[in-house]
Amino acid sequence: MKCLEILKIKPNDLDLYKQALTHRSYAYEHNTKSYERLEYLGDAILEFVISEYLYDNFDMEEGEMTKERSRLVCTEALNTYALFLKIEDDLKLGKGEIKNLANRKGVLADTVEALLAAIYLDQGMAKVKSVIINKLLNQESKFIDYKSQLQEAMQTVGKIVAYELINESGPAHDKLFTVIIKVDDIVYGEGTGKTKKEAEQQAAFKALEKEAKKVPNQPKNLT
C-alpha cells in the first residue's frame, strides 16, 4: 500500500488497513467490511490529537484554538492529507461510486480518518500522534496562507519581513528550495519545499511561531 510506504509503517494487522481503504459501495458488492466504523473512531482521534497539539504548543484563546482546529480537520485539509498519502492509489470503490466524482472529496476525507483509526489500533497512540503532527500537519502550508498572516501581523507593529533563497538543489524536474525569513534583519525561520512558494510558507509558519511566541516549546517529536 502506497500510504503505508509513505508513512514507513510495517503493519501488524494488514486487514485493518484494507478495511480503512474500503468504501461501503465496494464492501456491499464484495460482502466485506467498509471503513465506516474506523472513520468514526479516526474522526475523534484526529480532533483530540490536534486539540492537544494546539493546547500544548500555542498560547491561544479557546475561540482561536477552535477556529484553527476546524481549519486543520476540514474537508479541504483532509483532502490535502489524502493527496500526500496517495490514498486514491489504494482506495477500493464499488462500480457505481467510481463514477460519482462529485462525492470524491468526502470519500477521501473519510478514508484519511479511517486510516488514522487503523494506525491507532495497529500501532498505538504514540504512532498516530507522530503521523498527524510530524507528517500530515507538514502539508498544512498548502491550504493555509501563512505569508499573508505574517505580513498582516508584522504590519501592525511596524516590522519588515523579507524572504531570502539560500539554497537550491536537485535536477530541474525535482528541485528542492530552502528559504530563510527575516524580520527586521533577524532570521526568524527556515523552510524547504519543492517550490519557492512552498518553502516561503514553511518559513513564514516558523516566523509566526517565534514572533508571536505562540510556541513556547517546540512541538514534541513523537517518532
Q: Residue 187: inside a domain, yes or no?
A: yes
Q: Residue 178: inside a domain, yes or no?
A: yes
**pLDDT band at residue 223 using 50, 70 and 90 as cut-offs:** very low
Q: Do 158 and 128 have their domain in common?
A: no
> For the residues 66-74, what does the mean pLDDT come to?
88
Q: Do 34 and 100 have their domain in common?
A: yes
> For the residues 70-80, what does the mean pLDDT come to?
88
**Cα angle 9-15-53, degrees, rounded to a multiple of 5:** 45
Exposed, middle or buried by CB within 10 Å (0-12, 13-18, 19+), for 96? Answer: exposed
State the number of CA atoms in the 13 A half-sphere of 14 facing the CB. Answer: 4
Q: Residue 57: inside a domain, yes or no?
A: yes
Q: Residue 222: inside a domain, yes or no?
A: no
Q: Do 136 and 113 have their domain in common?
A: yes
88 assigned to active site: no
What pLDDT score was predicted for residue 23? 92
Among 131, 125, 50, residue whose Cα is nearest residue 85: 131
Q: Residue 217: inside a domain, yes or no?
A: no
User: Is the pLDDT reported for residue 116 higher than 60?
Assistant: yes
Q: Do 97 and 154 have their domain in common?
A: no
Q: How many domains does the chain have?
A: 2
Identify the domain containing residue 189 by its residue range: 146-211
Query: pLDDT tens digit string along 1-25?
Result: 899 999 999 999 999 999 999 999 8
Q: Are 115 and 87 in contact (CB under 8 A)?
A: yes
At CB < 8 A and 24+ separation, what contacts does 179-185 make? 179/203, 181/150, 181/206, 181/207, 183/154, 183/159, 183/207, 183/211, 184/159, 184/160
What pLDDT score was predicted for residue 173? 74
> For the residues 112-119, what does the mean pLDDT come to?
97
Query: pLDDT tens digit string along 170-199?
Result: 887 778 889 999 888 888 888 887 778 878
What pLDDT score was predicted for residue 100? 57
Q: Do 114 and 89 have their domain in common?
A: yes
Query: pLDDT tens digit string along 136-170?
Result: 987 765 556 778 888 888 888 888 889 999 999 88
CATH of the domain at 54: 1.10.1520.10
User: Is the pLDDT reported for residue 214 higher than 50?
Assistant: no
Q: Do 30 and 53 have their domain in common?
A: yes
Q: Residue 194: inside a domain, yes or no?
A: yes
Q: Residue 164: inside a domain, yes or no?
A: yes
Indicate which residue of 39, 43, 110, 200 is catalytic. Answer: 43
Give this prediction's pTM: 0.65
What pLDDT score was predicted for residue 179? 93
> For the residues 53-77, what does the mean pLDDT come to?
84
Indicate which residue of 39, 68, 97, 113 is catalytic. Answer: 113
43 assigned to active site: yes
Q: Do 19 and 113 have their domain in common?
A: yes
